[in-house]
Amino acid sequence: MTFAIKGDILYSKSLNKVSQNENSYIVCVDGKSEGVFKKLPAKYKGIKIYDYSGHIVIPGLVDIHLHAPQYSFIGLHMDLKLLDWLNKYTFPAESKYKDLNFAKKAYDIFVDDLKKTATTRFAMFATIHNDATLYLMSRLEKVGFKGYVGKVNMDRNSPKILVEKTKNSVKDTILWIEACKKFKNIKPILTPRFIPSCTDELMSELSNIMKTYNLPVQSHLSENRSEIEWVKELMPSVSNYEEAYDRFEMLGSVTNTIMAHYVWPDEKGIELMKDRKVWVAHSPSSNRNLGSGIAPIGRYLKEGVKVGLATDVAGGSYLSMFRAIEDTITASKIRNSLIDDKYASVTIEQALYIATISGGEFFGKVGSFDKGYEFDAIVLDEKDIPTVLMPELNLLERFERFIYRPKDKVLAKFIAGKKVV
């Protein structure tokens, strides 16, 4: 478990600062980084060296929100907005995972394709089905991934085939959590789909489960204006959507929480999100495809709201976190130009930080090559990028050019010190 990678090493030091280290070494000991060195220290003489000279090496990219079962229809039905898309296509597609044979085929394809990408950590939704969810987790564990998977809870406002009885939802959730104890690297995360699909009774029971098992939480928040109005009708006693979760102590007051999208923040709610240190899973592709809007990521970064990047398959139309970085920059520029120029658009340095350290913090010390961080690394394949006209690019410029070219050409992938590609 002691080895080094040699290459052109690029990683974030802070929101606006990157570390560029050409022809250098990263040392891994027992799954953790010992730091970056221009010359390999004498005490590491004789260790195994993976030589990727001339290739950029970055920390693994972190996808903090995607729906594994939706990969089966990725790239379809993008002419609809969120609620119609869910009811007409997404919910019927997810109901198929009751059939374990179908689930195995679909999840095998998903995991095999995810393995080829730059993603090393994730927080993902499965479906309401225990057996299928456990199979997904077992496949991810076998590859060597580390991350969270959630059995979804929903006991109202969904097709009959996907609506759980409240007591059954609670019982199945506990059985699933107990069954997850066999996994070392893929952990359970509590997953009420969103307020419209969960009764107050179910949310109260899930809150108790969260506290009993000390589980993190993931859900959706303020993705679409129609959804926000629906929540007001369902829960007229709360002043905003954020409080609809907070009343059940599921907005970061007890355990770590990810809220996906957060395109339309409430002015008081945004302070609550900041105080509770909730991660916003920014999904620029999904927000565009489903007509939800453009989240104010520049504001979140300036005001100290935690942000991570997300593909949100299949609302998002790709698994590539490189494309998520590109779309984050593009969406922020459009917002800055057309909607609100009070906050600056996202830079390449900031986008890399969001995709690594910022999202990685949800998993602990993840997303950096500084000493003590878990050793997640990606080696980029730049062979199709012509450099003859601009041979003097620095590492950040090379990375920027890479993300705007064909995506996810990865030469090697390491997760917690284990080479998986």
Question: Number of structural domains, the chain?
Answer: 2
Residues 353 and 374 in one domain: no
For residues 169-198, give the mean pLDDT. Answer: 98
Pair 41, 80 in one domain: no
236 shares a domain with 165: yes
Say whether both 242 and 222 belong to one domain: yes
Same domain, 187 and 331: yes
> Percent of the chain at pLDDT above 70?
99
pLDDT at 388 over 80: no
The CATH number that applies at residue 23 is: 2.30.40.10
Whether 208 and 122 share a structural domain: yes
* Four-point Cα dihedral 92, 95, 96, 97, nearest 10: 140
What is d(CA 171, CA 128) in angstroms, rounded to the nearest whole number? 12
* DSSP annotation string for 122-176: EEEE--S-HHHHHHHHHHHHHHT-EEEEE-EE--SSS-GGGPPPHHHHHHHHHHH
Find the helix packing angle between 130-143 and 100-115, rounded to 10°. 30
- Is the model's pLDDT at 80 over the cut of 70? yes
pLDDT of 317-336, one tens digit each? 999 999 999 999 999 999 99
E strand or H helix at 283: none
CA distances from 234 to 162, 200, 240 (A): 20, 10, 12
Peptide bond between residue 310 and the one before it cis (omega within 30 degrees of 0)? no
Alpha carbon of residue 409 to chain centroid: 19
* pLDDT reported for residue 384: 77
The 10s digit of each residue's pLDDT in 224-269 is 999 999 999 999 999 999 999 999 999 999 999 999 999 999 999 9
CATH number for 344:
3.20.20.140
- Which residues constitute the domain of residue 291? 61-363
pLDDT digits (tens, 9 = 90+) for 8-30: 999 999 999 999 999 999 999 99
Strand 257-261 to 191-192 pairing:
unpaired
Verify that 348 and 386 share a domain, yes or no.
no
Please report the pLDDT score of residue 391 as a whole number. Answer: 76
Mean pLDDT of 206-213: 98
Task: Give the separation between CA 269 and CA 287, rounded to whole angstroms.
Answer: 20
pLDDT of the residue at 83: 86
Measured over the CA atoms of residue 217, residue 335, residue 88 and residue 200, the dihedral's sign is positive
pLDDT given at position 387:
72
Q: What is the mean pLDDT of the chain?
A: 96
Residue 187 has what pLDDT? 98
pLDDT single digits (tens) 270-295: 999 999 999 999 999 999 999 999 99
- Looking at the structure, tell me whether residues 12 and 149 fall in a common domain: no
Same domain for 164 and 116, yes or no, is yes
Cβ contact 151:128 at 8 Å: yes
pLDDT at residue 344 in the model: 94
191's CB contacts (< 8 A; 6+ apart) are 125, 126, 150, 151, 152, 153, 217, 218, 219
Q: 367 and 416 in contact (C-beta within 8 Å)? A: no
Residues 83 and 134 in one domain: yes
